[in-house]
Amino acid sequence: MRRVRAELGQLLRDARLRWIGAVLVVLLGVALAGAWRQAVRDAGDVRAIAQAERGRWLGQDAKNPHSADHYGLWVFKPSAPLAILDPGIEPYTGRMVRIEAHLFNDAVFRAVQDANPLARAGLGSVADIVQLIVPLAAILLGFSAFAADRERGTLRLALGNGAAPGRLFMARFGALLAALALLVGLPLLVLGGLAAVSLDAPGWEVWPRLVPWVAAQLTYAALFLVLAMTLSLTARTARSALAASLLAWVLVCVAAPRLATVAVDATTPALSYGETRARIEETFRGHRTAEANDDRAKAVLARYGVTDPDALPVDLRGLMMSENEQHNFAVFDAAFGAFFDSLLRQERAYAWAGLLSPRIALQALSAALAGTDFPQHVRFVWAAEHYRRGISRRMNQAIIDNPQGGERRYTADHDLWETVPPFDHGPMPLADAAWAVPLAILATWLAVLGGAAVLAVRRLTP
Amino acid sequence: MKLTPWRTDHAVRRALRLLAAETGMVLRERLTWAVLAALFAALLLGAHTGAVRVEAERAALATLAAEEGRAVVAAREAYARYARATPVKINYWQDPTNAFGYMTQFLTVHAVKPPTPLAALATGQSDVQPSFMRVSFGSSTVFDDVAYELGSAARLKLGAFDLAFVLAVLVPLAIIALAGTRLSVERDSGTLRLIAAQPIGPRAVAGAKFGAVAGILVVAVLGQTGLALWLTGAIRSLAGSGVTLGLLAGALAAYILVWVAACALVATLWRGAVAALSILVLAWTLFTVAVPAAASIAVDCLTDKPSRIAAIDASRQVQDAFANGGAGPRLTAQWLARIPGAAGRADLVEAPEIKRLARDAHYDVQLDARRESFRAHDRESAALSRWLALASPVTTFDFALQRAAGTDAGRHAAFLASAAAYRRTLRAFFEPRIVAQALNPVPVCAGCQARLDFDAYDDVPRFQPSIDLTAGRRGALMALAWLIVLAGGLALSARARLKAWPA
């Protein structure tokens, strides 16, 4: 610890650390403030419109329940509070779903759709900064750890004075890691925690998510510190150490993530959304022809042993709508089930692509911990669909139970609308999130680089 | 000192000799060939990715065309079937022989944004914005752009490994690797003193060193890019885009010169290789991610982004006002009153097709201002982004590639506007037919259940896709001019600082 303190004291006097620290804190602060402001505004808007929608649903005129089913309502995906730190895939997926009869509507209005074309080129979030810039900072802090001493000849002096290479390495690593923890980990934990807690998000397990999230970011930073220091141990000059570290950074943080998209597309292709929709449409088209409808009506009448719909104890139209919906639900389940499964397979493949680059592993781990990963979105999509089905079932049942015919017209009112509960979507618990694979991969990276560092320390020559 | 013609000639010959010597030296370095080989592999992969994407887009458009054709055939068959007496009851939503039924339930048409001849160059916005939209009247739509192709969000987040990425992002790193320490390493190794002892100025030395790298890189990158495009078949036909491609090649050369000049300028700081490398990589980071991020914040601050959530609320208020409180029949009667021959037909107020047309017309009128505010924002945001992209050479060049490829935000905004116009055209096509049928139903055969008032399936207006090749040309020209200015400015700054050798 004494050595670490000594190294840290020396490090804190280094202008390089002050510059790097200032840039990082400013970048993180600006990104966090922007995200928090947007999140507060969005949460307020969503709360207000969700209440208004509920009011509109309950306040609609008396009408046939099927018309109410068509009138429908909008439901909104609750944003994860830690999205202010890592929005994960949230900007790339829809945030709201129109609930209405017959239609499994898309979750629409993705933030990326409304973002200006420069947004994707830049650093959009705190997580982007951590994933791209923090490694660079770690490299700039760590590349000269041994190579500069070697160039100056002071490494020979230190080793000659009996300093154990392993201890020297650990002291310098400890000091640099402490500096990074101070510059990155602490602001993330304190500011991120305060901001996330202020967003009032029950059920999101904010602190159990935040603490490992910050730990994951620090582990990632530590990886690059180990990498830069290992290269510094082996390089003859500081220039070579820096060049090699920067090359590794470019490969791992810039090129590999995009290369992974090519690899995953080739090895784990997903189903096409357009084709899935077209297949569903084709199935429905055959099912809803007048002839098919007539056959089903005859079958219903035969089931009840009557020939006249008016002789039925239930409403034929309601019954047929209900049966039709059951058919549609099955088609949706099969088609969209397969489609979302294929996307989830691809997401898992991306997590494994973390073997190509720790940035990919961190991206997957970070989003899973923050609750902004794709499984969360899929959960919302199906929750909205089940809510829609619940409304359709209630409306159809009301029609079934109130046969119409001749002069009889059925209109329902507030009493029926009130039987529909508000949409209440809870997040996927942290325990169920897909963090195990990326965590294991990140740990593997750390172990491999740590092993390389141990080897380099053993072979250290002045 | 004024140079005589003899001295000028001598200086030029000496500079050329130096340049040739440096070029030979750079070409003999293993690093040069390693970097160029890695770059070529990346260019090949980028071009291949683009070619695959464009091919997928073309295949998707072909599928849509086939789907549209099948829908028309099915409607025609239904018409033939329903033109005979049948005991089967045919509701309007099952009846493609009825203009309203066909428009709301069977119409299968799309607004499409076909790939341009140079589409493979840049993914741009094409992975987040749809290249086609089904135009339908089956349910109410709040905005023009609700459709999208849901795919892997992780892929979108990571970004595409396309040619634009390789050229705009990786090429500068290759340049930094080859040119970044070319002069500063001489200082670190002590050979700069030996060079300075020769009767030669720093400008000539730096000119030869950076000129050699620039020459090699311009030839190599342009050649490799052309070869990658040819080998992968990424550009099948130029079809009017030859000039744009030529301008882009010029812009690429200028882009390389910008980064080589930046390396030269950093070298004039005489701070050693480590500092030079650090500064250049930080400059790359600044222009690749930090400046675009700042420009993006500026665009958001300078344009008034309308709220989707507020717009949905507004649309629901309009819907609520029509559906409840008895406003629907009143508004339907008002709408009907504007149609010649329909003013006195109170019986039509409750007709589903008339109610729907009146409702949609009401929504359109009430929400048009909001839709227009989104369109205006898209246009404004795209235009402002184009200007602010000039703040960084990376985005300058990247945006030029996107515009040439037709995958830029500006083209998408225009596409959304034309898709909305197409929807209005379709509505104008069907509306008179639906109203005419409501006013005077077409007589049908005895026992026929279908309405049989519509069989003009082939007359339904088709979407006319547009490819504005001049936008790509303008973008490439602007980028070329700006990059030349930047390269010139940086080179002149470096030259000005290279008056004398460092002490």
For residue B68, the chain A residue with the least C-alpha distance is A278
Per residue in B326-345, is it b (16+ CB within 10 Å) or e — as a string? eebeebbbebbeebeebeeb
Q: How confident is the model at residue B239 (pLDDT cuts 50, 70, 90)?
A: confident
Amino acid letter for position A28:
L
Percent of chain A with pLDDT over 70: 100
Name the residue with higher pLDDT: B192 or A226. Answer: A226
The answer on pLDDT for A272 being more than 80 is yes
Q: Do B45 and A364 touch (CB under 8 A)?
A: no
Strand order in the sheet with A107-108: A73-76, A96-99, A107-108
Note the residue count of chain A.
462
Domain map of chain A by residue range? Answer: 2-274+308-317+336-458
Enumerate residues 136 to 195 of chain B having a beta carbon within 8 A of any beta carbon in chain A. Answer: 139, 145-161, 165, 169-170, 173, 177, 181, 185, 188
Distance of alpha carbon B431 from alpha carbon B427, whole angstroms: 6
Per residue in B16-41, is it b (16+ CB within 10 Å) or e — as a string? eebbeebbeebeeeeebeebbebbbe
Cα–Cα separations (whole angstroms), residue A246 to A61, A122, A331, A452, B210:
67, 20, 52, 18, 22
The answer on pLDDT for B431 being more than 60 is yes
Minimum-distance CB partner of A74 among B277, B310, B312: B312
Model pLDDT, residue B8 = 73
Spatial neighbors of A37 by CB under 8 A, at least 6 apart, are none
pLDDT average, residue stretch B460-464: 96
Mutate to test the interface with A, among B134, B181, B274 (most CBs of A within 10 A): B274
Distance from CA of A290 to the nearest CA of B (A): 5
What ipTM score was computed for the predicted complex, to two decimals?
Answer: 0.87
Q: How do residues A308-322 score in pLDDT, each as one tens digit?
A: 888 888 999 899 999
pLDDT average, residue stretch B429-446: 92
- Spatial CA neighbour of A112 closest among B129, B192, B492: B129
B323/A contact by beta carbon, under 8 A: yes
Backbone angles phi, psi at B132, to 5 degrees: -155, 160
Angle value at C-alpha A293, between A288 and A298, nearest 5 degrees: 165
Spatial neighbors of A180 by CB under 8 A, at least 6 apart, are A134, A137, A138, A141, A218, A221, A222, A225
pLDDT average, residue stretch A225-251: 92
Q: How do residues A395-438 score in pLDDT, each as one tens digit?
A: 999 999 998 877 778 999 999 999 999 999 999 999 999 999 99
The answer on pLDDT for B10 being more than 90 is no
The answer on pLDDT for B1 being more than 60 is no
Name the residue with higher pLDDT: A159 or B70. Answer: B70
Model pLDDT, residue B3 = 53
DSSP B299-325: HHHHS-PPPHHHHHHHHHHHHHHHHST
Residues of A within 8 A of B274 (CB-CB) are 144, 238-239, 242
Whole-number average pLDDT of chain B: 91
Cβ-based neighbour number of residue A222 at 10 Å: 19
Minimum-distance CB partner of A109 among B177, B274, B308: B308
Q: How confident is the model at residue B467 (pLDDT cuts 50, 70, 90)?
A: confident
For residue B380, the chain A residue with the least C-alpha distance is A116
| Conformation bin of residue A405: beta by default, left when phi > 0, alpha when psi is -120 to 50 | left
Q: How do residues A347-387 score in pLDDT, each as one tens digit?
A: 999 999 999 999 999 999 999 999 999 999 999 999 999 99
Note the residue count of chain B.
503
Q: How do residues B318-366 score in pLDDT, each as one tens digit?
A: 988 888 888 888 999 989 888 888 877 888 888 989 999 999 899 888 9
The answer on pLDDT for B142 being more than 70 is no
Enter the tokens of residue A63: 């009408």
State whether residue B264 is helix, strand or coil: helix
Percent of chain B with pLDDT over 70: 98
The answer on pLDDT for B210 being more than 90 is yes
DSSP H or E run through A128: helix A126-128
Whole-number average pLDDT of chain A: 91
Least confidently predicted of A21-35, B114-128, B161-175, B389-403? A21-35
Residues of A within 8 A of B293 (CB-CB) are 118, 121-124
* Beta-carbon contacts below 8 Å between A and B: 234
Q: Do B63 and A258 touch (CB under 8 A)?
A: no
Distance of alpha carbon B378 from alpha carbon A115, whole angstroms: 9
Name the residue with higher pLDDT: B10 or B302. Answer: B302
Model pLDDT, residue B179 = 94
Mutate to test the interface with B, among A97, A102, A118 (most CBs of B within 10 A): A118
Distance of alpha carbon B77 from alpha carbon A247, whole angstroms: 64
Q: Do B308 and A114 touch (CB under 8 A)?
A: yes
